Copies of this chain bind each other. A is one copy, B any other.
C-alpha cells in the first residue's frame, strides 16, 4: 500500500472512531404467553396463526416504545396489557376461572432502576392488573396489595372496575366445566394446562424491567396465589443483573425463587444469562416442576428456556432479531 493511501486509511479510522463510540446502546424485549399449554396435536394452523399474531402485536408494541426512546418499564407494561386484553391468553380478559367460576387475577411489575416493584393478587374486577400493579409501585408505599384491599386501592386511584362477567369468556367457562368433570381441586397443581403472560426489556438508558400477569390455574381454590405476583419467584428485575418473567407451575417457582435465583447466578457465580437460565430450568425439572422463563441482561442478551412441550414466546432486539415461536425448534 502506498504511503498516501495508508495515511488516508488512518485518517478514515480516526474519523470513524467517534462514530463507533456513539454506537447506540442495545435495545431488547422478550415476551411470553404461557408454557405447557400447547398440545401440538390440537393446534390447527388457524390457531397457530392467531396466537402468533397476538404475540407479534405485544412484541412489536413493546419494541416500538424502546425504539422511540421510551423506558423498559413502559415497554413491558404495554406488551403485557395487550396480552391481557387478548382473550387467547390466560391473563386479564381470557384469564382462566377458579373453582367458584370467577377470574382471580395476579400481576407484578418490577423496575430494575431502584429497584422498585408493585404487585396485586386475587383481584376479580380489574381489567388490566398490570396497570394496577404499576400504580401500587408508583402511588403507594407498598409492594403487594391483595383481594378486596387491592380493588379499594384501584378505586382510590380512579381505576374503574369491570363486572366479573367481563372475564367469563365462553372458552374459559367450558374449560372450567371440563376441569370440574375430570377431577377434584387437588389436581390443579399437577402437570397440565398452565399459563401466564410476561415481558422483560432493556431500554436505551440501560434500565431493565419485568412484568407478569395471570389468571392462574383453572378450577383453582379461591385465594390461591401463584408465582406471577411474587417478587423473586415469577417476576424480578435489577439493573445490576437481569430481568426475568416466568410461566408454569407457580408453586414450584415460588419454592425455588426462580426469577431471583437466575439473577443471583449471574451476579454471584458470574454465569452468562443463558447458563443461569439453563441451570434454573434444570433445577425445576429435578423437582418435578414444569414451565419456562424469559430473561434479558444489561448487555441486551435474551435467554428463553422451558421444560414443557412448548412456550409461546417472542424476542426482538436492536441487532435485528425478531422471532416468534411456540415449540422447542423455534417454530
Contact = CB atoms under 8 A, between A and B. Distances in A.
Interface of A: 104, 114-117, 121-122, 140-150, 152-153, 186-190, 220-226, 230-233, 236, 250-251, 254-255, 257, 260-261, 264-265, 268-269
A261 to B, nearest CB: 7
A153 B190 CA distance: 19
Name A's interface SS: mixed
Contacts of A148: 147, 222-223
B268 A264 contact: yes
Contact of A264 (B141, B146, B261): B261
B145 A146 contact: no
A144 B257 contact: no
B143 A251 contact: yes
Given A143-B250, A230-B230, A231-B254, 5 more contacts: A104-B149, A149-B223, A230-B231, A231-B233, A261-B264
B186 A141 contact: yes
B149 A222 contact: yes
A22 B190 CA distance: 41
A121 B230 CA distance: 13
A153 B221 CA distance: 8
B140 A221 contact: yes
A225 B145 contact: yes
A264 B238 CA distance: 16
Given A141-B188, A147-B147, A223-B148, A117 B255 contact: yes
A223 B150 contact: yes
Nearest to A265: B268
A250 B119 CA distance: 14
B145 A224 contact: yes
A45 to B, nearest CB: 35
A144 B114 CA distance: 27
A231 B260 contact: no
Contacts of A223: 145-150, 152-153
A42 to B, nearest CB: 25
Contacts of A261: 260, 264
